[in-house]
C-alpha cells in the first residue's frame, strides 16, 4: 500500500498522476502543456515542429524542461513527493532520441540546483526527435521490409509491417541522410526510455511494449531482432538501448530529484512504456478478450490478446502488453469525431438533435449506407477524402446521421476480425461516449454490452498502476494484475448499454452489404 506516480509524456503535454492504493483514489493529476510554456523557446505548435516534407519532430530538451515544471507544479499543489514509493511512465510511441557520448555521465552527475535544461543541453547528437506524426520514411519502410526478406517476414518477426512513424524506418533515414550525426550517436532510445533515464539519472532500457513500435523487436522473444537491426542501419545493435522486462526496477530516482523535489532516496523508477500499451493497463484490459473503444478525435479500438496475432492487411498494430504476458492490438480509424462533426455541421444540428435523429431512425437505415471518408482514412486505407452514399439522400439529415454511425460501427466490426478476439463487451471512453444513441449502435452491431468508462488520463493511470505492480513484485509480495487495476479502472455505475437482439439481427445481414460497398471503393 502507498502512493505511486505515473507520468505520461505525450505529444502536447506531460501529465503526472498520483494514486493512493490505500484509498483506491487518484490523489493528484496535473498536466503541463508544452505550447503554454515553451512555444516561443522551442518554436513548437501543438507540441511539434513541422519541418516540411512530412517531417514532424519535437524537442527532447523541452520534455526535460517540462519534467522540472511538472514536478514543481505537483509540489506547489501540496503533493508530498516524499511519499511516492515508485514511479513509472509512458511516452508517445515510436519517437526516437539520439544521445552522444556525454549522455551517460551527464545523467549520472545530475545534481541541484541548476535545472535539467542546463545540465543536459549538451547530451544530444541530434537536437530534435522525429515523432509518430512523421510520414517522411516511405522509402525506408520499403527498404526495411526488403532487407529482412519481405513484408511478410517483417510482419511475422516483429508483429507489424513497416509503418512510416515506427522507429526503425526513422533511424534508417537519419543514418542515410546524416551519416556524421549518426556516427556521433552513442545511444538511441525512445521517448519513454529517455524520460525514464532523466528520472533515474542513468540510461534506462526500453520496455517490450514500446519496443514493439519500432519494427525492430522480435515480438515473441521480446528482444531486438538481429535480422531487423542489420536491415535497418549499421552498428545499430551497439547504439540501441537494450530491452528489459517492464517490471524490472531501473534503479532509484536520481539525487537531483531527491534534493530538488523531496523524493525519498529509495523511490524506484520502473521502465517507461508506450502511451497506448500503458492505456491498456489504465483501462484495466489485463485479460485476453477485453476490448476498449475510444471515441475521440479519431476512433481507436484496442484489445488484450494472449497471442501476437498479426494484421496481414496492415489494419492494425500489435504491441507487447506491459503486463509481461499479453499482447495488445490497436486499430486507428481516422474519421471518428471528424466525420460525426462533418455530418452534424452539414445539417446544422447539435449533439442533442444528432442523438434524436438516431432514436427516430430504424436499425439498418432502410438500406441507406455511407462510406464516411470525410478525410483520408487509415483503416481501411483510403488515400484521398471522398464520401460515398448508397441509397442515401444527402438532404435527409436523419438518415445521414444514422448512416455515419452505422458505417463506423460496422467498420469497427469488420476490421477487428483479424484480432481473433470474440468481443463480449466493450469499454468505451472519449468525448463521443457521452452520446447514448451512438453507443447503442455499437452495442447492437457488436451484439454485446457497452460500458462507459471515465478515464481522461488512462496512460498516466496505467503507468502509476505499473509502478504499484512492479513495486509489489520487487518486494516479494506480487499481486495479480486484476487486483491491481480493479479499484481504479472500473466502469461508471449504471452506464451499461445492452444490445437490442432485433437490431443485432439486422446488422448481421447488413454487414456483408457494407463490406461489399467498402471493397468496391477502397484499395
Please select the residue that binds ligand ADP; options are 280, 432, 443, 465, rule is CB under 6 A: 432
Residue that the C-alpha cell 503486463 belongs to:
323
149-208: contacts with ligand XUL (CB under 6 A): 165
Separation CA 35–CA 39 (nearest Å): 5
Q: How far is the CB of 210 from ligand XUL (least distance, A)?
A: 9
Which segments of 355-486 are extended strands (E)? 369-371, 388-390, 426-429, 450-452
Stretch in the footprint of ligand ADP (CB under 6 A) among 36-44, 47-55, 360-368, 430-438: 430-438
**Residue 20 interacting entry, from ligand XUL, ligand ADP, none, C-beta within 5 to 8 Å by type:** none
Stretch in the footprint of ligand XUL (CB under 6 A) among 193-201, 271-279, 406-414, 495-503: 271-279
Residues 6+ away with beta carbon under 8 Å from 432: 295, 296, 336, 337, 340, 438
Which segments of 353-471 are extended strands (E)? 369-371, 388-390, 426-429, 450-452
Q: Is 275 in the site for ligand XUL (CB under 6 A)?
A: yes
Whether 311 contacts 318, CB under 8 Å: yes
Q: Is 435 in the site for ligand ADP (CB under 6 A)?
A: yes
Separation CA 273–CA 91 (nearest Å): 6
Separation CA 405–CA 416 (nearest Å): 17
Closest CB to ligand XUL among 228 and 404?
Answer: 228
Hey, CA dihedral for 414, 417, 421, 422, is it positive or negative? positive
**Residue 297 interacting entry, from ligand ADP, ligand XUL, none, C-beta within 5 to 8 Å by type:** ligand ADP
Please select the residue that binds ligand XUL; options are 161, 244, 276, 457, rule is CB under 6 A: 276
**Residue 337 interacting entry, from ligand XUL, ligand ADP, none, C-beta within 5 to 8 Å by type:** ligand ADP
- The interface mask with ligand ADP, positions 312-351, x = CB under 6 A, is -------------------------x--xx---------x
Whether 315 contacts 415, CB under 8 Å: yes
**Residue 93 interacting entry, from ligand XUL, ligand ADP, none, C-beta within 5 to 8 Å by type:** ligand XUL
Q: How far is the CB of 345 from ligand XUL (least distance, A)?
A: 26
**Residue 193 interacting entry, from ligand XUL, ligand ADP, none, C-beta within 5 to 8 Å by type:** none
- The DSSP bridge partners found for residue 138 are none
Closest CB to ligand XUL among 11 and 433?
Answer: 11
Closest CB to ligand ADP among 261 and 354?
Answer: 354
Of 59, 35, 200, the closest CA to residue 124 belongs to: 59
Q: Is 93 in the site for ligand XUL (CB under 6 A)?
A: yes
Q: Is 31 in the site for ligand XUL (CB under 6 A)?
A: no
CA angle 441, 443, 448 (to 5 degrees): 160
Of 6, 1, 14, the closest CA to residue 79 belongs to: 6
For 79, 80, 159, 259, 384, the CA distances from 262, given in Å and listed in that order, are: 10, 8, 42, 6, 53
Please select the residue that binds ligand XUL; options are 92, 197, 412, 435, rule is CB under 6 A: 92
Separation CA 255–CA 253 (nearest Å): 6
Closest CB to ligand ADP among 351 and 418?
Answer: 351
Secondary structure of 324-344 in HEC code, one letter for each residue: CCCEEEEEEECCCHHHHHHHH
Stretch in the footprint of ligand XUL (CB under 6 A) among 57-65, 269-277, 346-354, 417-425: 269-277
**Residue 276 interacting entry, from ligand ADP, ligand XUL, none, C-beta within 5 to 8 Å by type:** ligand XUL
Maximum C-alpha span of the chain: 69
Residue ranges of the alpha helices (H) in 263-305?
275-282
Please select the residue that binds ligand ADP; options are 72, 100, 119, 297, rule is CB under 6 A: 297
Q: How far is the CB of 274 from ligand XUL (least distance, A)?
A: 6
Q: How far is the CB of 4 from ligand ADP (least distance, A)?
A: 24
Query: Quick one: how far is CA 518 from the chain centroid?
Result: 27
Which triple of cell numbers denotes residue 382? 483510403
Q: How far is the CB of 453 from ligand ADP (least distance, A)?
A: 12
Stretch in the footprint of ligand XUL (CB under 6 A) among 200-208, 228-236, 272-280, 495-503: 272-280
If one counts every other C-beta atom within 10 angstroms of the C-beta of residue 153, the result is 16
Separation CA 303–CA 328 (nearest Å): 6
Q: How far is the CB of 319 from ligand XUL (least distance, A)?
A: 8
Closest CB to ligand ADP among 297 and 522?
Answer: 297
Q: How far is the CB of 92 from ligand XUL (least distance, A)?
A: 4
Residues that bind ligand XUL (rule: CB under 6 A) add up to a total of 12
Query: Quick one: how far is CA 169 from the chain centroid?
Result: 19
* 3-state SS class at 374: coil
* Residue ranges that bind ligand ADP, judged by CB under 6 A: 296-297, 337, 340-341, 351, 430-432, 434-435
* Residue ranges that bind ligand XUL, judged by CB under 6 A: 10-11, 92-94, 132, 165, 213, 274-276, 317
Amino acid at each position: 500500500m502507498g502512493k505511486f506516480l505515473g507520468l505520461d509524456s505525450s505529444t502536447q503535454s506531460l501529465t503526472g498522476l498520483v494514486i493512493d492504493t490505500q484509498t483506491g483514489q487518484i490523489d493528484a493529476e496535473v498536466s503541463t502543456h508544452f505550447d503554454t510554456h515553451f512555444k516561443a523557446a522551442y518554436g513548437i505548435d501543438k507540441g511539434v515542429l513541422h519541418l516540411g516534407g512530412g517531417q514532424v519532430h519535437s524537442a527532447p530538451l523541452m520534455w526535460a524542461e517540462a519534467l522540472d515544471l511538472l514536478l514543481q507544479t505537483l509540489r506547489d499543489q501540496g503533493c508530498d513527493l516524499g511519499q511516492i514509493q515508485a514511479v513509472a511512465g509512458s511516452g508517445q510511441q515510436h519517437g526516437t532520441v539520439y544521445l552522444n557520448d556525454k549522455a551517460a555521465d551527464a545523467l549520472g552527475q545530475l545534481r541541484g540546483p541548476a535545472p535539467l535544461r542546463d545540465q543536459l543541453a549538451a547530451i544530444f547528437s541530434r537536437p530534435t526527435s522525429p515523432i509518430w506524426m512523421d510520414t517522411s520514411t516511405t522509402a525506408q519502410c520499403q527498404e526495411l521490409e526488403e532487407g529482412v526478406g519481405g513484408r511478410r517476414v517483417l510482419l511475422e518477426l516483429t508483429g507489424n509491417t513497416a509503418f512510416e512513424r515506427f522507429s526503425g524506418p526513422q533511424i534508417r533515414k537519419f543514418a542515410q541522410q546524416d551519416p556524421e550525426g549518426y556516427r556521433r550517436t552513442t545511444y538511441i532510445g525512445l521517448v519513454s526510455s529517455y524520460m525514464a533515464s532523466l528520472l533515474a539519472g542513468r540510461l534506462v532500457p526500453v520496455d517490450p511494449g514500446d519496443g514493439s513500435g519500432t519494427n525492430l523487436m522480435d515480438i515473441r522473444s521480446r528482444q531486438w531482432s538481429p535480422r531487423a537491426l542489420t536491415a535497418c542501419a549499421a552498428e545499430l545493435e551497439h547504439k540501441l538501448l537494450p530491452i528489459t522486462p517492464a517490471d524490472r526496477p531501473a534503479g532509484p530516482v536520481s539525487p537531483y530529484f531527491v534534493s530538488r523535489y523531496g523524493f525519498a532516496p529509495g523511490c524506484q523508477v520502473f521502465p517507461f512504456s508506450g502511451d497506448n500499451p500503458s492505456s491498456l493497463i489504465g483501462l484495466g484490459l489485463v485479460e485476453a478478450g477485453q476490448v476498449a473503444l475510444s471515441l475521440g478525435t479519431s476512433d481507436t479500438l484496442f484489445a488484450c490478446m494472449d497471442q501476437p496475432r498479426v494484421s496481414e492487411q496492415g489494419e492494425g498494430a500489435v504491441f507487447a502488453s506491459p503486463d509481461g504476458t499479453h499482447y495488445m492490438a490497436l486499430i486507428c480509424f481516422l474519421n471518428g469525431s471528424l466525420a460525426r462533426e462533418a455530418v452534424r455541421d452539414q445539417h446544422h444540428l447539435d449533439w442533442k438533435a444528432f442523438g434524436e435523429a438516431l432514436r427516430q431512425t430504424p436499425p439498418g437505415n432502410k438500406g441507406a449506407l455511407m462510406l464516411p471518408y470525410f478525410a483520408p482514412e487509415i483503416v481501411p486505407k483510403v488515400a484521398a477524402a471522398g464520401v460515398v452514399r448508397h441509397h442515401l439522400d444527402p438532404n435527409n439529415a436523419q438518415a445521414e446521421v444514422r448512416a455515419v454511425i452505422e458505417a463506423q460501427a460496422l467498420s469497427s466490426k469488420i476490421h477487428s476480425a483479424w484480432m481473433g478476439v470474440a468481443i463480449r463487451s466493450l469499454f468505451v471512453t472519449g468525448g463521443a461516449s457521452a452520446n447514448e444513441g451512438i453507443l447503442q449502435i455499437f452495442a447492437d452491431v457488436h451484439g454485446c454490452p457497452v460500458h462507459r468508462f471515465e478515464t481522461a488520463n488512462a496512460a498516466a493511470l496505467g503507468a502509476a498502476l505499473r509502478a504499484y505492480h512492479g513495486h509489489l513484485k520487487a518486494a516479494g509480495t506480487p499481486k495479480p494484475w486484476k487486483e491491481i487495476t480493479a479499484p481504479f479502472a472500473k466502469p461508471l455505475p449504471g452506464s451499461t448499454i445492452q444490445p437490442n437482439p432485433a437490431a443485432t439481427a439486422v446488422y448481421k445481414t447488413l454487414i456483408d452489404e457494407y463490406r461489399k460497398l467498402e471493397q468496391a471503393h477502397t484499395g
